[in-house]
Amino acid sequence: MSTRILVVYYSATGNTAKLAAALAGGAAEAGAEVRLRTVAETAPAEAIASNPRWQAHVHSAPAVELATLDDLEWADGFAAGSPTRFGGPASQLKSYLDTTGGLWAKGRLVNKVATSFTTSSTAHGGLESTVLATNNIFYHWGAIVLPLGYTDPHLMESGNPYGGSFVSRKSAAPDETALRALHLQGNRLAQIAGYVAAGIRGG
Ligand SMILES: Cc1cc2nc3c(=O)[nH]c(=O)nc-3n(C[C@H](O)[C@H](O)[C@H](O)COP(=O)(O)O)c2cc1C
């Protein structure tokens, strides 16, 4: 049975979506069965209309299925991504995560391997605080929080041991360095979730 990986993200202007796709690709390359999912947009239309890049993304991004609770229960490993919003994850991602109380109460999220990623427009604008705040939820689940670390020489270059990230200063789109780091994060998530799942299934 292949390792099951769920990648869930929110993205307003497309950067986190690209990071999520790279992470999903890394997990698939490692042999995992991967579900790539987004979450519902809850911002009012006028907020979206005030940002041409947000508006364009809402209108032109390829359709991606919305994550369900079944996706989360199905997964052995889980990656959550969001743009940094005032130093933390976007409410759209948090809203999805806040629907997991029922699964949490039944212990269904225990021992899933979980990791986070983000993008911000500035280098010191909260990349780490967003990853750490997202990971806080995983501690409550009893999940196994997976850092990216410096587990590959490439990560010395991309430089975020907390989780894959990208600085989108001046509206830059994720570059090859960042995408490679996310790919490696997906590889690692699939590998470690596979070890844990094999142990659980093997009894
Ligand atoms: C409401 C709002 C809050 C933001 N807060 C921060 C922030 O705290 N630090 C930062 O560096 N960038 C911040 N940004 C910029 C986004 O994190 C950045 O543009 C990111 O790359 C967008 O990702 P996306 O294309 O996936 O939506 C903010 C953007 C918005 C719209």
CATH number at residue 135: 3.40.50.360
Residue whose CA lies nearest to ligand 1 atom number 3: 85
- Ligand 1 pocket: which of 86, 127, 130, 131 to mutate (most atoms within 8 A of CB): 86
Q: What is the pLDDT of residues 54-106, one digit of tens each?
A: 999 998 888 999 999 999 999 999 999 999 999 999 999 999 999 999 999 99
Choose which residue among 120, 167, 171 to substitute to test ligand 1 binding: the one with the highest number of ligand atoms within 8 A of its C-beta.
120
**The ligand 1 atom nearest the CA atom of 171:** 19
This prediction's pTM: 0.98
> Which residues have C-beta within 8 Å of that of residue 203, sequence separation ≥ 6?
none
Q: Which pLDDT score is estimated for 167? A: 98
> Which of 75, 158, 173 shows the shortest CA–CA distance to 183?
158
Q: Ligand 1, residue 51: give the atom nearest the CA.
A: 31
> Which of 94, 75, 68, 70 is closest to 83 using CA atoms?
94
The count of structural domains within the chain is: 1
Q: How far is the CA of 85 from the centre of ligand 1 (A)?
A: 5
Distance, in Å, from the CA atom of 182 to the CA atom of 155, rounded to the nearest integer, reads 10
92 within ligand 1 shell (Cβ under 6 A): no
50 lines ligand 1 (CB under 6 A): no
At 138-165, the pLDDT tens digits run 999 999 999 999 999 999 999 899 999 9
Q: For residue 174, which of 43, 16, 66 has the smallest C-alpha distance?
A: 16
Residues 6+ apart with CB under 8 A from 161: 147, 148, 149, 150, 155
Range of the domain at 125: 4-201
